[in-house]
């Protein structure tokens, strides 16, 4: 290995996923020299192994399911999906796992890209080890932003590595559908990948340790998704733990906590995420390797005046859109501090351009299953645990004319959680086909703290799914 000269920048960004790209974009727009360090593909997890490939797999599945519910189309789409065409489209959306376009974007904003593994060696100092073993030291005058994201967390089962299990990466990049697939977990990755691969030809068995699916949403969300998965042919087993996994002659053998033996061709563990901070030199700046990095609302790591942790690594909201939102906040905060404008940063007033307040009150999420599940803000249980005096208002989508037009037999449910003291919404959940496109209206209502009395004057178009808002408000008024 050889040592080369030091390079000085205003800002050094570790990680070139959507979060790191957005931090770099904002700091460059503010006139700050910026270096970006990436050990894998520029564009990160979302572009190649998460958001983009998973939604490319799921979109034909959802469109096919919707078409089968419509007279005039249902007979024409009774056959299976063309799995090879779906996978080929997925490959297009991942740019065939090549990052030339995103490299060009970084160059276009005037940031410098360093390929290799970056480690903090001292405050404001990052050492980059390139693929050929050469090392380069980068220094940051104003800030280092850690945007390294998360990785799949596997359970501590003896011999698991020898089984070669799927994680989210293998599940979104597989070249063919396994005949039998066991999915361990009940969250977003588990339900979305169960939905996709069941439709693409796998016989899916979903093993869930807890009582149901999507336990971070309102209970009815997981119930409706479980019903749909079962109707599609998947087997959903709740209250089921995995005690051991082996692979014998290519077949995966799972032993459950009840002693049952299950067989599959592949097994996907969707059992959580861990921060990718174990080998970035945190020990050299007084922090614990492998830990989540706690931050203030400007995304600066607590106890430092130069280190920022943006996106998944701070554990505030493990979602790409929230990470990009945080990146915009962090970039503005870094630029303001670099210019000496700190007044707003010190007061951290709610909804300021330098405070990631949405992480606390208005985080939206869509689960792209069939039916879709979408939520923003607090669930009823979360609102009550936070000490709010609230009431849940529920309506069935069967009361909405647009739902029947959307598809025969449309099944869905909506809930808004109303703060009875402030008369604002603390949270909203929709479950049903197409509801992902509804959730931003709810996000505006929750983030904007729009009074219920004002929502009456936001008139939904007829006949659309958004008329569910009128039904929710009527139910609140009448009860």
**Three-state SS at 21:** helix
Residues 6 or more apart in contact with residue 45 via CB below 8 angstroms:
17, 149, 150
Question: Domain segments of the chain: what residues?
Answer: 3-43+99-151+275-359, 160-272, 371-478
pLDDT at 435: 98
CA distance 153 to 312: 14
CA distance 460 to 475: 16
> pLDDT digit string (tens) for 452-473?
999 999 999 999 999 999 999 9
When computed from its CA atoms, the radius of gyration of the chain, rounded to whole angstroms, is: 24
CA distances from 181 to 196, 207, 211, 214, 357 (A): 11, 11, 21, 20, 40
Nearest to 144 by CA among 296, 30, 23: 23
Structure tokens at 189: 């990755």
Q: Which CATH number fits domain 371-478: 3.40.50.720, 3.30.390.30, 3.50.50.60, 3.30.365.10?
A: 3.30.390.30
Domains 3-43+99-151+275-359 and 160-272 share a fold: yes
Contact at 8 Å (CB) between 13 and 22? no
Instruction: Provide the terminal-to-terminal Cα distance of the chain, rounded to the nearest Å.
Output: 73
CA distance 223 to 350: 36
CA distance 170 to 177: 11
Is the backbone peptide bond immediately before 198 cis, with ω within 30 degrees of 0?
Answer: no
- Residues in the chain, pLDDT under 50: 1-5
Q: How big is the chain, counted in residues? A: 479
Q: By CB neighbour count within 10 A (0-12 exposed, 13-18 middle, 19+ buried), where does 266 fall?
A: buried
Task: Look up the CATH architecture of domain 160-272.
Answer: 3-Layer(bba) Sandwich (3.50)
Q: Which DSSP helix (H) or strand (E) runs through 62?
A: helix 51-67
CA distances from 101 to 24, 47, 50, 414 (A): 16, 12, 18, 40
CA 114 to chain centre: 26
| Core vs surface per residue 180-213: b (16+ CB within 10 A) or e | bbbbbbbbbbbbbbbbbbbbbebbbbbbbbeebb
Domain 3-43+99-151+275-359 has CATH 3.50.50.60: yes
CA distance 406 to 386: 37
| Core vs surface per residue 73-101: b (16+ CB within 10 A) or e | eeeebeeebebeebbeebeebbbeeebee
Q: Which DSSP helix (H) or strand (E) runs through 85?
A: helix 83-93
Contact at 8 Å (CB) between 313 and 370? no
CA distance 217 to 373: 9
pLDDT at 1: 32
Q: Which DSSP helix (H) or strand (E) runs through 424?
A: strand 424-432
Q: Is the pTM of this model over 0.85?
A: yes
**Three-state SS at 195:** helix
């Amino acid at each position: 290995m050889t040592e080369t000269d030091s390079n000085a920048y205003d800002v050094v960004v570790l990680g070139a996923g959507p979060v790191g790209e957005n931090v770099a974009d904002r700091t460059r727009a503010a006139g700050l020299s910026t270096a970006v360090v990436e050990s894998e593909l520029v564009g990160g997890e979302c572009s190649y192994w998460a958001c983009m490939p998973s939604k490319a797999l799921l979109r034909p599945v959802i469109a096919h399911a919707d078409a089968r519910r419509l007279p005039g189309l249902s007979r024409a789409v009774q056959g299976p999906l063309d799995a090879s065409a779906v996978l080929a489209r997925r490959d297009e959306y991942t740019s065939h796992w090549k990052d030339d376009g995103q490299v060009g974007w970084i160059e276009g904003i005037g940031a410098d890209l360093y390929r290799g593994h970056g480690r903090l060696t001292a405050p404001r100092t990052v050492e980059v080890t390139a693929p050929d073993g050469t090392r380069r030291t980068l220094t940051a005058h104003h800030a280092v932003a850690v945007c390294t994201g998360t990785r799949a967390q596997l359970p501590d089962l003896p011999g698991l590595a020898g089984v070669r299990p799927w994680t989210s990466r293998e599940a979104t990049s597989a070249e063919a559908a396994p005949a039998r697939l066991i999915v361990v977990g009940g969250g977003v990755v588990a339900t979305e990948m169960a939905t996709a691969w069941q439709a693409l030809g796998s016989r899916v068995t979903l093993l869930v340790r807890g009582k149901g699916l999507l336990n971070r949403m309102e209970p009815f969300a997981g119930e409706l998704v479980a019903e749909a998965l079962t109707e599609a042919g998947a087997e959903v087993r709740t209250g089921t733990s995995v005690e051991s996994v082996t692979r014998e002659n290519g077949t995966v053998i799972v032993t459950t906590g009840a002693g049952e033996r299950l067989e599959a061709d592949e097994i996907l563990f969707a059992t959580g995420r861990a921060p990718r901070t174990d080998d970035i030199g945190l020990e050299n700046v007084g922090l614990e390797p492998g830990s989540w990095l706690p931050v203030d609302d400007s995304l600066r790591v607590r106890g430092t005046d130069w280190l920022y942790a943006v996106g998944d690594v701070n554990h505030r909201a493990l979602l790409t859109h929230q990470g990009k939102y945080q990146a915009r906040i962090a970039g503005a905060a870094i630029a303001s501090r670099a210019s000496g404008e700190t007044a707003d940063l010190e007061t951290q007033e709610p909804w300021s351009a330098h405070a990631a307040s949405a992480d606390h009150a208005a985080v939206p999420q869509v689960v792209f299953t069939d039916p879709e599940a979408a939520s923003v803000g607090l669930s009823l249980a979360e609102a009550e645990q936070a000490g709010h005096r609230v009431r849940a208002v529920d309506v069935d989508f069967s009361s909405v004319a647009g739902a029947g037009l959307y598809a025969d037999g449309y099944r869905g449910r909506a809930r808004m959680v109303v703060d009875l003291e402030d008369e604002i919404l603390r949270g909203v959940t929709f479950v049903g086909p197409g509801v992902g496109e509804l959730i931003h209206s709810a996000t505006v209502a929750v983030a904007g703290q729009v009074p219920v009395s004002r929502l009456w004057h936001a008139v939904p178009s007829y006949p659309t799914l958004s008329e569910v808002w009128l039904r929710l408000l009527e139910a609140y008024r009448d009860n």
